Chains A and B, each alone.
Chain A
Amino acid sequence: MRNDAWGEGNLRPRLMTISGLLAQCLNSLQYGLLLFLISSGLTLIFGVLGVINLAHGSLYMIGAYATFVVVRATGSLWIALPVAMLGGILLGGLLERYLFRHFYKREHLDQVLLTFALILLFEESRSLLVGNDFYSVPIPTALDFSIPIVEGFSYAAYRFVVIGVCLVLAAALFVWIERTKMGAIIRAAAEKPEMVDALGIDPRRVHMTVFAVGTALALTAGALNAPLSSVYPNMGDGLLIISFVVVVIGGLGSISGAFWSALLIGTIDTMGKAYAPKLSGLAIYLLMAIVLLWRPTGLFGQRT
């Protein structure tokens, strides 16, 4: 039904202007940082626990809906953000303690079934509790203004706040992993689990901490992005897939790998959507294939 001229117009790269490019760089940064929040949790959980958590996108969705519900009730995003963060730690701790703990020793297929079941459970609960509507979350009034960036394009102040919060969280995560004792144990657990056992460290505490932090990161990402994306059913699905790509390109279990890879994917995806929309979907996967051929363990993964 769609006539050919349409498809062609979409394939042809669009006109680039310097000011447009500048604005797109900012979009890339903001999107990349959001991807980092989601994929850092994914990569931590996979690196340390060896579990592929397909429900990670649903956790993001839960963060966004929780924010919507809290903002509707209290009118304040500043209450919703800590609620999502702490709620994420609690939810992650419970999930690890009562579900995931029993699955570490089992096959990947069992783990996939478990996390897939969680997706269905989370989405169905969301449907029962909040319904299937598309809701918008208002930006706090104090931040509801825009800052001109280039001729004819301004940037909402709240987007700068999101960029700032993401950078702070990324720095905190980096310090925690690289500079603290717990971080050292986590890195050891990801790279040489036998050593952690040999040193007599209780792995259960490590596992629960990692899962709780990973979950909290996903919920926080959802909460931060809720005013920018609105909330709607299955909103985490697309982001889950792209986060897996980030994790694979960055190297499984590597936080700094996830950071640089998230920025790279954020840039490629944004530029693709802006200048060559029909190719943008393909570009990311093409990049992943090339990276996998060149460095099978990812850009920052351990070489074997």
Chain B
Amino acid sequence: MSIQLNRLNRRALIKVGAAAAAASAVPTGWAIAQSSKQLKVGLMLPYSGTFAQLGENITAGVELLLAEKGGKLGGREVQFIKLDDESKPELGPQNAERLVKRDNVDVLIGTVHSGVQMGIHKVVKESGTLTLVPNAGNAAVTRELCAKNVFRTSFTNWQPAYAMGLALAKKGVKKASWLTWDYAAGTESGEGFKQGLEAGGAQFVSLLTLKFPETNFQPLLAQIQGLGVDAIGAFFSGGGAVQFVKDYAAAGIKVPLCGSGFLTEGTLKGQGAAAEGIETALHYGDGLNTPKNNAFRAAFKAKTNRDADVFAVQGYDAAQLLAIGLEAVKGNLEDEKALHAAMETTKIDSPRGSITMSPQHNVVQDIYLRKVTNGENKVVSTIAAQLADPGTGCKM
């Protein structure tokens, strides 16, 4: 019995091996001929864990745009290959390799977590696979590590924080501090806040940090009164943001709290009354009454039975940008020059407003001031129109 099994296995193995060898021996000319056929799009996103909902909404945004285009991009049918990256940075490079080398995707869309993004970036910088970043905001991807085949349709951590600093300064705040976790997103946003304050003529007093993802905010909260500042800005997200906003309210601190939009994004239900009145800055918000946004929200609701959020918009725009590139080259990804040029110069009508790409391939967009009102992040005004990340250190 066991001998037979072994023989079967060996035979199967030989077959698979032969098929693999044959496939890899196919000349590239044949692959080009395929370009009029299916377009393989890898979706490397979190479909489980803390960020699962973000991954789902980004995917729904991408699928929505594809449906609008009748299921085709640049004349090619689209086949999605979904891979759950679990937001695990240690699996980032290996998962990206799997999509790029084994599944041979033509395009990669991903991801949410900054650490995983670095893994993807390493792989696609080498392979040259066209990549669209639908969330992760780590600056490096469009600064010192920028690549001609990588485009980001979400934000850099710097952008909303810079706008928040600027808004405070314009409102007459003289001094402010930034409070965050001691990790890349926290310190990058702190840097943006500092520059925004200074651009508006206000003074940045200090950066207060605690270890990620610690939630004992008390030692920091107890010293805010002693800082002598007119405002506190903060970057936290998810469950940490819920806890922080609640603790800030419970501590009865008189200094007003503001922050990067993520402080109150998708967390308002948990924060309840503690969040009312908090001002934040982000590239999207509730009550943006434009025809494009209304249509998008209605379509998203019809498709998923959920309300659209900033992540859905970022996914939708990644697909919009991809569609524009592919249409310009009629689905022929080999024509990289024309493809990249089309994506770099286009102006996209996004649900958030109109957006373009910076020379470093990061999104240039309006940043809104929002205020939590009756459990919604109501847009108050545009703080910074068409704000671009500095893109420092990018050589393409």
Interface size class of B (residues with CB under 8 A): 35 or more
Bound CA–CA A150/B221 (angstroms):
13
Q: How far is the CB of B251 from chain A (nearest CB, A)?
A: 6
Q: Please classify the interface of chain A as helix (H, G, I), strand (E, B), loop, or mixed, using the class held by over half of its residues.
A: mixed
Contact B226 A15 (CB under 8 A): yes
Bound CA–CA A133/B48 (angstroms):
10
Question: Does chain B have a CB within 8 A of A75?
Answer: no
Q: What residue in chain B is nearest A12 (Cβ atoms)?
A: B206
Question: Does chain A have a CB within 8 A of B208?
Answer: yes
Bound CA–CA A30/B221 (angstroms):
15
Contact A154 B239 (CB under 8 A): no
Question: Does chain A have a CB within 8 A of B166?
Answer: no
- Which of A53-61, A270-278, A283-291, A296-304 forms contacts with chain B? A270-278
- Which of A20-28, A97-105, A109-117, A197-205 forms contacts with chain B? A20-28
Q: What residue in chain A is nearest B243 (Cβ atoms)?
A: A230
Question: Does chain A have a CB within 8 A of B17?
Answer: no
Mark contacts of A7-51 with chain B using CB atoms, 8 A cut-off: 1 yes-contact digit, 0 otherwise.
Answer: 001100011110110011001001100000000000000000000
Question: Does chain B have a CB within 8 A of A136?
Answer: yes
Contact B250 A156 (CB under 8 A): yes
- Which of B209-217, B318-326, B335-343 forms contacts with chain A? B209-217
Mark contacts of B227-258 with chain A using CB atoms, 8 A cut-off: 1 yes-contact digit, 0 otherwise.
Answer: 11000000000111011001100111111000
Contact B49 A134 (CB under 8 A): no
Contacts of A232 in B (CB 8 A): 213, 215, 239
Q: How far is the CB of B118 from chain A (nearest CB, A)?
A: 12
Interface centre among B139, B246, B253 (most CB of A within 10 A): B246
Bound CA–CA A116/B220 (angstroms):
33
Contact B188 A1 (CB under 8 A): yes
B96-133 interface with A by 8 A CB criterion = none
Contacts of B222 in A (CB 8 A): 20, 23-24, 27, 153, 274
21 A-B pairs with CB atoms under 8 Å apart are A1-B140, A14-B223, A14-B226, A15-B227, A23-B223, A132-B50, A133-B49, A136-B242, A136-B243, A146-B250, A151-B225, A153-B251, A154-B250, A154-B252, A230-B240, A271-B219, A273-B216, A274-B222, A274-B223, A277-B208, A281-B211
Q: State the B residues within 8 Å of A (CB).
A: 48-50, 139-140, 184, 187-188, 190-191, 206-211, 213-216, 218-228, 238-240, 242-243, 246-247, 250-255, 270
